[in-house]
Amino acid sequence: MGTQRLKVVLGRDDSYDIRVGEGLFDRLGAHLREVTEAKKAVIVTDSNVAPHYLGQVRSALAQEGFEPFDLTVAAGEASKGLAVAAELWDALALLGIGRDGLLVALGGGVIGDLAGFVASTYMRGIDFVQLPTSLLAMVDSSVGGKTALNLDGGKNLVGTFKQPAYVTADLKALGTLPAEEWGNGFAEIAKSAFVDGGEFLSWLDGHADALAAQDGGAVQQAVVRSLAFKARIVASDEKEKGVRECLNYGHTFGHALEAVSGYRIPHGRAVAEGMRFAARLAVEAARAPAALADAQDALLDRLGLGPVTEPFAADDLYGLMLSDKKVRNGGLRFVLLASPGAWEAVAVDPDLVKIYLILWEQARMGKRQEEL
């Protein structure tokens, strides 16, 4: 399959291109020359990604006359904080990067969020581009312009909106992605397919097994379809004032579950469980048919995103949901689907949420008892 191109169409001159294909890092310099006149380009990457792709990206930039620099941070969520951002600001200043410099985010969602934040704040904003290397970053975080840092008080509490000038997903990079990281991308693909419904969902239903087996063609299609969906949503609501909220499907419960497990449950499994929870809540709160929850369960299972069986306490989950960013005026907001593609963001009666959380916990306690 050849390279596929998409565009995120935004107002002013903020629109940008996305390329998805194999071996794109080799041609990166030429593609970047189409979007920037920068001379100095600073690659921000992490300690897992650097050994595989930093050299390749550096030489692709040098070939087109960029003066490349690189800054490598420790791999992992802990780097997405103010201390590392401050180190990067200082390093940019020491390298003499001016307003006309370019930041190149090479890595997963952590690097994208961190480098995007630094690019949006250094000298009140310099251009940056996204080279996502994890499946999650390719299908979701590299597009849309949300940047973020974590605080001790919670994840993603500080951030800006800063659209990249260009995004390129080189699918070859997935060749070194650890097996346990794939599920995080699969969950966001499934989320997007259910929220979009229609053709995307029927495609996923027909290709879930190929995707789970990491078949190259299926992976490329999944990336392109997910990004086309996200690009459409972002184009109509750049700053999350309305429809962009649909991208939070599965995340209200998912974030609470990640947190209550002390981040032992990976993001993808937590979001998938959040989708299962939302589908059950939707039977009562959005008149969804119970069959939708069953169909969604089956698809998530095929993607290797089986149900979470650990019985976390309903009270703890409820408390964490209340402290999440998605709380408005004390009400708990959920994205619910009446059917695939027909979503609404609703404030659900807290008592109803509590009942469903207790049912969720009890179902798992029951399973535990049976096992004993």
Ligand X SMILES: NC(=O)c1ccc[n+]([C@@H]2O[C@H](COP(=O)([O-])OP(=O)(O)OC[C@H]3O[C@@H](n4cnc5c(N)ncnc54)[C@H](O)[C@@H]3O)[C@@H](O)[C@H]2O)c1
Catalytic residues: 124, 146, 188, 230, 240, 244, 248, 251, 255, 267
Structure token pair of residue 92: 């940019």
CA neighbours closer than 13 Å in the CB half-sphere of residue 270: 20
Nearer to ligand X, 41 or 110 (CB): 110
Binds ligand X by CB under 6 A, chosen from 77, 215, 237, 301 = 77
| 184 lines the binding site for ligand X (CB under 6 A) | yes
Nearer to ligand X, 134 or 226 (CB): 134
| 113 lines the binding site for ligand X (CB under 6 A) | yes
- Residue 46 and residue 78 in contact, taking contact as beta carbons nearer than 8 Å: no
**231 alpha carbon, distance to own chain's centre:** 13
Binds ligand X by CB under 6 A, chosen from 57, 60, 102, 137 = 137
If one counts every other C-beta atom within 10 angstroms of the C-beta of residue 90, the result is 10
Task: Show contacts of 50-57: CB within 8 Å, 24+ apart.
Answer: 52/173, 52/176, 53/25, 53/106, 53/131, 53/133, 53/173, 54/106, 56/25, 56/26, 57/25, 57/28, 57/104, 57/106, 57/131
Nearer to ligand X, 61 or 270 (CB): 270
Residues touching ligand X, count (CB under 6 A): 29
Per-residue mark of binding to ligand X, 38-67 (x: CB under 6 A): --------x-xx--x---------------
| Angle of the 216-236 helix axis to the 198-212 helix axis, nearest 10 | 140
E strand map for 58-124? 67-73, 102-107
Q: Look at residue 42 and give its three-state secondary structure.
A: strand
Nearer to ligand X, 178 or 330 (CB): 178
Binds ligand X by CB under 6 A, chosen from 63, 176, 202, 323 = 176
Binds ligand X by CB under 6 A, chosen from 88, 173, 201, 275 = 173
| 160 lines the binding site for ligand X (CB under 6 A) | no
* 3-state helix vs strand vs coil in the chain, percent to 5: 55, 20, 25
How far apart CA 316 and CA 323 sit, in angstroms, is: 11
Nearer to ligand X, 109 or 340 (CB): 109
Binds ligand X by CB under 6 A, chosen from 75, 123, 158, 212 = 75
Residue nearest to ligand X (CB): 109
Task: Return residues touching ligand X (CB under 6 A).
Answer: 46, 48-49, 52, 75-77, 80, 107-111, 113, 133-134, 136-137, 140-141, 144, 146, 156, 173, 176-178, 181, 184
